[in-house]
């Protein structure tokens, strides 16, 4: 029965029932953590055989490069081609770094801050613009927002919908304000909703009129091959769309094998237009004499190509799909189907997260109650710039790391807390 249509007496009875469930769980003194999207130990195990591959043939790559030594600032050519295939570009348009794409995003924003986006004198360093701004689709990834917050951008939230951000709003913002320097995006199996941007949205991003000639899209394709069902969703390539629209340097695509092999020891890469690659390399070559090529070599030898990655990701899906299914089963048992008056949730086909929405104003209270019962979720607000969700309704669930039974318990406790907090609101309204 819908809590919103219950009488005062029914609500009081339901509250007592949910409180009793809560107390039973609390007495178990559980310590459950659903905060960060990390692969579980059994997923990490899938890539352990890769560690044998680095020194095959003495660490010399097929192109004859001695991966044990310095050099190749843009990365091993074989690794550039490999990451290029994953990100949908030629190897020449890829720079392979070390283990973290977030690190490459941070460095790229810093480079643009200090030097502008190209060698051209009219591309001024971003730091000179005191009113610099960045568009942040919400809900979104807290670590993206933190980078541009730390570097002094004003963060502009734009609503994310199932087929991408509100494009009418974005077009309006970028058309009139030359201080809007860029935007964040996770285009496929987005963090935290799992949404996939439509090709139409991608075309509009590529061709929109921007007041800032140095506007850049930071396209974090972190989950490009992270499907839960049969195969990864097909999606138009943003760089191709930008080239077709006459803005070949507008997009910078980022990706990594963090959740393909090892988050601590994968390969990260960025892809961009010819001019941007040349420009970034001129900066990176002052920063390093080259990345960890032995790691790049073992990745290429182990995974081989996109087909090899897709086969490997099927093994990941076999491990994590049951975890996503467990969340769905508990939600359905407790609430039926997603609904805006009690709890809404996404049903992703890939990625690492499920995004829930409580009624406005209830997310923080719900998570505080979960915490009292020993279950931690990502802090309320962290899906939004400055960690402030003005609706106080978004909650991110990360079901990949815990064991299945822990997930069931954590999500059941979450549902109990959603109900308690909502019933208390409804009862207070009855009193009022």
Ligand X SMILES: Cc1ncc(COP(=O)(O)O)c(C=O)c1O
We find the least distance from the C-beta atom of residue 253 to ligand X, in angstroms, to be 12
Q: What is the C-alpha separation between 96 and 59, in angstroms, rounded?
A: 18
Element (H, E) at 271: strand 268-272
We find the least distance from the C-beta atom of residue 406 to ligand X, in angstroms, to be 20
**φ and ψ of 191, to 5 deg:** -95, 110
Q: Which residue's CB is nearer to ligand X, number 355 or number 426?
A: 355
**Residue 252 CB partners (closer than 8 Å, separation 6+):** 108, 216, 217, 218, 219, 270, 271, 272, 276
Q: Which residue's CB is nearer to ligand X, number 100 or number 108?
A: 100
We find the least distance from the C-beta atom of residue 393 to ligand X, in angstroms, to be 21
Going through 294-335 in order, the beta strands assigned E by DSSP cover none
Q: Which residue's CB is nearer to ligand X, number 248 or number 263?
A: 263
We find the least distance from the C-beta atom of residue 423 to ligand X, in angstroms, to be 34
- Interface with ligand X by CB under 6 A: which residues? 37, 100-102, 141, 186, 191, 220, 222, 256, 258, 263, 268
* Nearest residue to 421 (alpha-carbon basis) of 19, 1, 6: 19
**Residue 195 CB partners (closer than 8 Å, separation 6+):** 160, 161, 162, 163, 164, 189, 346, 348
Q: What is the C-alpha separation between 305 and 206, in angstroms, rounded?
A: 28
Q: What share of the chain is helix, strand, coil (3-state, %, to 5)?
A: 45, 15, 40
Token pair of 197 as six digits = 């941007």
We find the least distance from the C-beta atom of residue 45 to ligand X, in angstroms, to be 18
DSSP state of 285: H
Tokens 């924003």 belong to 109
Per-residue CA distances from 28 to 32, 118, 162, 225, 409 (Å) = 11, 58, 38, 38, 11
3-state secondary structure of 226: coil
We find the least distance from the C-beta atom of residue 223 to ligand X, in angstroms, to be 7
Q: What is the DSSP string of 4-29?
A: GG--HHHHHHHHHHHHHHHHHHHHTT
We find the least distance from the C-beta atom of residue 330 to ligand X, in angstroms, to be 23
Q: What is the C-alpha separation between 37 and 146, in angstroms, rounded?
A: 17
Q: Which residue's CB is nearer to ligand X, number 256 or number 296?
A: 256
Q: Which residue's CB is nearer to ligand X, number 116 or number 381?
A: 381
Q: Which residue's CB is nearer to ligand X, number 93 or number 190?
A: 190
Q: Which residue's CB is nearer to ligand X, number 267 or number 422?
A: 267
We find the least distance from the C-beta atom of residue 397 to ligand X, in angstroms, to be 14
Q: Which residue's CB is nearer to ligand X, number 50 or number 268?
A: 268
């Amino acid at each position: 029965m819908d809590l919103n249509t219950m009488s005062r007496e029914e609500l009081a009875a339901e509250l007592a029932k949910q409180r009793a469930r809560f107390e039973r769980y609390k007495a178990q003194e559980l310590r459950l953590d659903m905060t960060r999207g990390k692969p579980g130990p059994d997923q990490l195990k899938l890539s352990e055989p890769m560690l044998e591959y680095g020194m095959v043939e003495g660490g010399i790559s097929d192109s004859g490069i001695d991966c044990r030594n310095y050099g190749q600032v843009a990365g091993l050519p074989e690794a550039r081609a490999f990451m290029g295939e994953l990100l949908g570009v030629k190897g020449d348009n890829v720079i392979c770094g070390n283990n973290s794409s977030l690190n490459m995003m941070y460095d790229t924003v810093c480079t643009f801050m200090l030097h502008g986006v190209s060698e051209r004198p009219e591309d001024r360093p971003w730091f000179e613009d005191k009113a610099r701004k960045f568009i942040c689709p919400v809900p979104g990834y807290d670590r993206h927002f933190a980078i541009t917050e730390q570097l002094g951008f004003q963060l502009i939230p734009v609503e994310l919908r199932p087929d991408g951000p509100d494009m009418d709003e974005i077009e309006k913002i970028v058309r009139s304000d030359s201080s809007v320097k860029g935007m964040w995006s996770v285009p496929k199996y987005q963090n935290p909703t799992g949404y996939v941007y439509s090709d139409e949205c991608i075309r509009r991003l590529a061709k929109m009129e921007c007041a800032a000639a140095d506007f850049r899209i930071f396209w974090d394709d972190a989950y490009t091959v992270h499907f839960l069902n049969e195969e990864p969703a097909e999606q138009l390539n943003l760089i191709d769309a930008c080239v077709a629209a006459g803005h070949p340097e507008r997009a910078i695509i980022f990706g990594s094998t963090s959740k393909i092999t090892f988050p601590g020891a994968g390969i990260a890469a960025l892809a961009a237009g010819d001019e941007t690659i040349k420009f970034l390399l001129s900066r990176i070559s002052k920063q390093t004499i080259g990345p960890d090529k032995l790691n790049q070599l073992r990745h290429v030898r182990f995974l081989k190509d996109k087909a090899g990655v897709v086969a490997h990701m099927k093994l990941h899906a076999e491990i994590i799909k049951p975890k996503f299914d467990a969340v769905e089963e508990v939600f359905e048992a407790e609430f039926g189907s997603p609904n805006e008056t009690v709890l809404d949730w996404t049903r992703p086909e890939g990625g690492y997260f499920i995004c829930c929405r409580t009624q406005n104003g209830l997310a923080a209270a719900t998570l505080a109650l979960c915490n009292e019962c020993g279950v931690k979720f990502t802090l309320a607000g962290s899906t939004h710039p400055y960690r402030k969700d003005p609706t106080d309704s978004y909650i991110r669930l990360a079901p990949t790391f815990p064991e299945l039974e822990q997930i069931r318990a954590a999500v059941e406790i979450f549902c109990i807390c959603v109900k308690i907090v909502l019933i208390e609101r409804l009862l207070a309204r009855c009193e009022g």
